[in-house]
Structure 1
């Protein structure tokens, strides 16, 4: 029976992959250019299911078959699908694997001589705190290091659910502090140190930036770069969560699933969190000034939004998930006194992304507190598109546009 399940999954993977890379396309490359309509931009044609949903998401769901068969967990299977392969040498970069404060890192340094010290970017990969690795984000880090002529350090933090919150945050913080204390070994300018991350990595970058904001014994961060970050777990019914609830690569229920796996190592209360019954009324009222659809510009509600009334508060659920309200896990909930000390910021959001409004809300908080923000919005982008700028034969021009804007921001510091 186990053999049958394994064979079935292999066939499903091959079948699904045939829709992603048809014969010959893996050799030539497939360029997915800007579509003619907003629906097509998200991969959501009118009256049909999103093409990406029919291809990429089933790959992740197939892990359930192996889990039920007792072969491996769904998380382990998805990690296998998302694991990147280590690339060969780069003619323009020196690569070095090391450990910073016990945390595995990979350092990317331009080979070309520099007239002065370089900018240094500490990069935290995305993957919902559960998935991905240094290798999975290798192309992104190489691209940033090459094009911005900066030193990039990619951090291989511990993953949930084996390592629950705050393990990932602590690894990222400790690796960053180590780098800041040893920048002379890497030719980095102490006045141009940046924290950067995508998705869950953007969450970690925001949390690390907040922690370091008030310190005086380390160099000040020059900037933070937050790429479609997830920044709160209070309200999963904001406009972007409603509009894009089924749009890959991150669907609404998975956003809550990842946060809970990171927090507790399970997702037992996912439905209550999605419905909003996990936050006490008094705390919800406090957070409403920061996490509210009222703070989202009206143009972002045009694709549809229905005000949501949270379900009745469940105290027993709150006791299990109350640490979701800690700023080190949900940076959008930090006090204004901390926000006012944050460095210049770059925020990238995508129209077809459940996390779009997290980025918009944080942008507003930063600007309201006098922090300079460069905001770049991909009207035809979806969650994870940066990693698909050049992925195994697929090419999404919007992903490259986003990366190029990040490079431009770094070079301008």
Structure 2
């Protein structure tokens, strides 16, 4: 049936009206519920960035309910429009790593010998993100450190929930390490790195590889504001930054559980700590506790919270979150003490800040050398904007340059 011109105009006006309502609701919701600490630089820019992200998430949820696509398809589609330009100083190839796609960046300058190799995992909670989202970071690292950089295009949840994404990363990393010389890489100088959930993957894979005698030893791990445990979401940083954009505590937990289970869950019981049985909580208390957080990080406020009564049903839904590939902080000491030299970056206004601080303490307690960089005005996701000058924050390049300086020292 053909639509008349007046009907098309009506549809257009209705579309504009619906979008206007969404924008108005989104602006009201953000302004009344978010917290923008004065310590964050360029607060207005962060507000706009978060609003656009929240708007897209709401729109994606509507599309999912209408049966058009699942809610993360829209965020993934955005990656397609990230422009990729040729780089006259790099050779860039998309390759296959034992069935897992990836991209390799080689500096064109003649190496003095075998180069350093860096395996990099992008963020996105295992739900979205791609090689394109970290293209500029990988290019900068390859340029400035004269290293061969490999980035992995792993499969994503909810179609491929945990542990598929991290296993894809592990498969690609093992293939790269076994064939390092073919890529012009010194097998003894390979570092594994990642940002956000990519940092989680890097930590988990380094733990998996410490017992592999058929592989070269990983030279270092670089963890940029990683998520490292799924037991306690009431540590000081989770309380202090529960409403700090762009990754609020509740929003982040919903995304993380979708990655873990492949479905959307109510997170209220988990926020209250009802998902861990008392015996496991007692076992891990020595590693995951506010008592292990330095006092200066409690200055912005912290109130100890007793966990809610244990829910067997909730535990059954999320019990795989106790696996170290999801929660690397739960690894035993005999694994931790074998880990390589480590760089950890944390941000003051990041709910995951204390995960990094707790891992730093565990590594140091077990004799692992740690370089730590704390971004006083930073928030979760600040480094991914590196190279995009119009949206970079004052500390974005500081984050990247500290990572690069660590790589140069390997």
What TM-score, normalized by structure 1, do the two folds share? Answer: 0.89
Q: Deviation per CA, 1:243-279, whole angstroms, max 9, x where unpaired?
A: 1112122110122212211221013242211111000
Q: 1:389, 1:398 within 8 Å by CA — same for their partners in 2?
A: no
- Give the paired residue count: 392
List alignment gaps of at least 5 residues for structure 1: 17-36
C-alpha distance in structure 1 between counterparts of 2:59 and 2:389, whole Å = 21
Structure ID, larger Rg:
2
SS of equivalent residue, structure 1 residue 328: coil
List alignment gaps of at least 5 residues for structure 2: 1-9, 26-35
Q: 1:119, 1:188 within 8 Å by CA — same for their partners in 2?
A: yes
Task: Find the counterpart in structure 2 of residue 41 from structure 1.
Answer: 40
C-alpha distance in structure 2 between counterparts of 1:64 and 1:234, whole Å = 27
The 1:114–1:318 alpha-carbon spacing in structure 2 relative to 1, beyond 3 Å, is same
Q: 2:41, 2:393 within 8 Å by CA — same for their partners in 1?
A: no
C-alpha distance in structure 2 between counterparts of 1:90 and 1:42, whole Å = 31
| 1:41-80 matches, cutoff 5 A | 41=40, 50=47, 52-80=49-77
Give the Å deviation of 1:187.
1.1
C-alpha distance in structure 2 between counterparts of 1:256 and 1:106, whole Å = 30
What TM-score, normalized by structure 2, do the two folds share? Answer: 0.89
C-alpha distance in structure 1 between counterparts of 2:23 and 2:109, whole Å = 42
Q: 2:244, 2:350 within 8 Å by CA — same for their partners in 1?
A: yes
Give the Å deviation of 1:169.
1.4
Task: Find the counterpart in structure 2 of residue 243 from structure 1.
Answer: 240
Q: Deviation per CA, 1:87-131, whole angstroms, max 9, x where unpaired?
A: 121111110001101101000010111112111000110001101
Give the Å deviation of 1:5.
7.5
Decide which of 147, 151, 154 is 2:148's aligned counterpart: 151
Task: Find the counterpart in structure 1 of residue 97 from structure 2.
Answer: 100
C-alpha distance in structure 2 between counterparts of 1:4 and 1:336, whole Å = 62
C-alpha distance in structure 1 between counterparts of 2:136 and 2:16, whole Å = 32
The 1:3–1:290 alpha-carbon spacing in structure 2 relative to 1, beyond 3 Å, is farther
Q: Deviation per CA, 1:6-49, whole angstroms, max 9, x where unpaired?
A: 65676689999xxxxxxxxxxxxxxxxxxxx962416669xxx9
Task: Find the counterpart in structure 2 of residue 327 from structure 1.
Answer: 324
Give the Å deviation of 1:283.
0.5
Q: Deviation per CA, 1:156-206, whole angstroms, max 9, x where unpaired?
A: 011001001110111011101100111111111111101100000000000
RMSD: 2.6
Task: Find the counterpart in structure 2 of residue 137 from structure 1.
Answer: 134
SS of equivalent residue, structure 1 residue 394: coil
Q: 1:42, 1:247 within 8 Å by CA — same for their partners in 2?
A: no
C-alpha distance in structure 1 between counterparts of 2:270 and 2:13, whole Å = 36
Decide which of 175, 192, 196 is 2:193's aligned counterpart: 196
C-alpha distance in structure 2 between counterparts of 1:38 and 1:288, whole Å = 30
Q: Deviation per CA, 1:42-97, whole angstroms, max 9, x where unpaired?
A: 6669xxx9555444433333322333343333222232345562512111111000
The 1:284–1:324 alpha-carbon spacing in structure 2 relative to 1, beyond 3 Å, is same
